[in-house]
Structure 1
Amino acid sequence: MSRKTLTRRQFVAATAMSSTALIAAPYVRGAYAAGKLSIGFWDHWVPDANEASRALVKEWAEKEKVEVSIDYITSNNKKIELTAAAEAQAKSGHDILQMPSWWPHAYSENLEPLNDVMEPLIKQNGEVNGTVKYLGQSGGKWLAVPATPGSQIKGPCSRIDLMKQHAGIDVQEMYPAGSAPKADNWTLETFLKAAEACHKAGFPFGIGLGETTDSVDTAGAIFQSFGAELVNAKGDVTVKTDEVRQALEFFKKLIAVLPADAPSWDDASNNKWLISGRGAMIMNPPSAWAVAKRDAPQVAEQCWTHGFPSGPKGRFAPFLPYFWGVWAFGKNKEAAKSLLVHLSSPAAIEKFVAASGGYDLPAYANMTKFKTWAEVGPPTGTLFHYPDPYHQQTLSIAASPAPPKIAQQIYFQATLTKMALRFAQGEKLETALAWAEGECEGFMRT
Structure 2
Amino acid sequence: MSRKKLSRREFVAATALTSAALITAPYVRGAYAAGKLSMAFWDHWVPGANKASEELVKAWAEKEKVEVTIDYVPSQGNKNILTIAAEAQAKSGHDIFAMPTWWCHSNSEQLERVDDIMGPIIAENGAANGTVQYLGQLDGKWLGVPASVGSQIKGPCSRIDLMKKHANIDVQEMYPAGSPPKADNWTFDTFLKAAEACHKAGVPFGIGLGETSDSVDTAGAIFQSFGAQLVDAKGNLTVKTDAVRQSLEFYKKLIAFLPPDAAAWDDSSNNKWLVSGKGAMIMNPPSAWAVAKRDAPQVAEQCWTHGFPAGPKGRFAPYLPYFWSIWNFSKNKEAAKSLLVHLSKPASIEKMCVASGGYDLPAYEKLTTLKVWQEEAPPKGTLYHYPNPYKHQTLSIAASPAPPKVAQQIYFQATLTKMCLRYYQGEAMEKTLAWAEGECEGFMRS
**Fold-level similarity (TM above 0.5):** yes
Q: How does 1:241-260 map to 2 (within 5 A)?
A: 241-260=241-260
Whole-Å Cα distance in 2 between the matches of residues 426 and 297 of structure 1?
41
Match of 1:109 in 2: 109
Match of 1:358 in 2: 358
Deviations 1:348-400 (A, max 9, x none): 00001100000000000010111110001000000000001111110000000
Q: How does 1:6-405 map to 2 (within 5 A)?
A: 33-405=33-405
Deviations 1:397-438 (A, max 9, x none): 000000000000000000000000000011111111110000
Alpha-carbon spacing, 1:211–1:234, altered in 2? closer, same or farther (3 Å) = same
Match of 2:426 in 1: 426
**Letter of the structure 2 residue corresponding to residue 240 of structure 1:** K
Whole-Å Cα distance in 1 between the matches of residues 197 and 425 of structure 2?
22
Contact persistence 2:162–2:280 (CA under 8 A): yes
Gaps of 5+ in 2: 1-31
Whole-Å Cα distance in 2 between the matches of residues 158 and 118 of structure 1?
36
**Letter of the structure 2 residue corresponding to residue 53 of structure 1:** S
Contact persistence 2:34–2:335 (CA under 8 A): no
**Letter of the structure 2 residue corresponding to residue 231 of structure 1:** V
Give the deviation of 1:140 after TM superposition: 1.2
Contact persistence 2:106–2:405 (CA under 8 A): yes
Whole-Å Cα distance in 1 between the matches of residues 310 and 327 of structure 2?
40
**Letter of the structure 1 residue corresponding to residue 70 of structure 2:** I
Match of 2:406 in 1: 406
Whole-Å Cα distance in 2 between the matches of residues 256 and 118 of structure 1?
46
2:365 partner SS = coil
Whole-Å Cα distance in 2 between the matches of residues 392 and 341 of structure 1?
29
Contact persistence 2:175–2:385 (CA under 8 A): yes
1:310 partner SS = coil
1:163 partner SS = helix
2:204 partner SS = coil
**Letter of the structure 2 residue corresponding to residue 119 of structure 1:** G
Name the count of aligned residue pairs: 415
Normalising by the residue count of structure 1, what TM-score does the alignment of the two structures yield?
A: 0.93
Whole-Å Cα distance in 2 between the matches of residues 191 and 38 of structure 1?
47
**Letter of the structure 1 residue corresponding to residue 217 of structure 2:** D
1:40 partner SS = strand
Does residue 441 of structure 1 match 2:441?
yes
Give the deviation of 1:55 after TM superposition: 0.2
Give the deviation of 1:338 after TM superposition: 0.4
1:260 partner SS = coil
2:339 partner SS = helix
Runs of 4+ in structure 1 off by over 3 angstroms are none
Paired-residue identity, %: 77
1:314 partner SS = coil
Alpha-carbon spacing, 1:117–1:34, altered in 2? closer, same or farther (3 Å) = closer
**Letter of the structure 2 residue corresponding to residue 49 of structure 1:** A
Give the deviation of 1:340 after TM superposition: 0.3
**Letter of the structure 1 residue corresponding to residue 224 of structure 2:** Q
Give the deviation of 1:288 after TM superposition: 0.2
2:367 partner SS = coil
**Letter of the structure 1 residue corresponding to residue 309 of structure 2:** P
Whole-Å Cα distance in 2 between the matches of residues 75 and 117 of structure 1?
27
Give the deviation of 1:117 after TM superposition: 1.1
Normalising by the residue count of structure 2, what TM-score does the alignment of the two structures yield?
A: 0.93
Give the deviation of 1:119 after TM superposition: 1.1
2:366 partner SS = coil
Whole-Å Cα distance in 1 between the matches of residues 67 and 134 of structure 2?
34
Whole-Å Cα distance in 2 between the matches of residues 42 and 385 of structure 1?
25
Give the deviation of 1:34 after TM superposition: 4.2
Give the deviation of 1:89 after TM superposition: 1.0
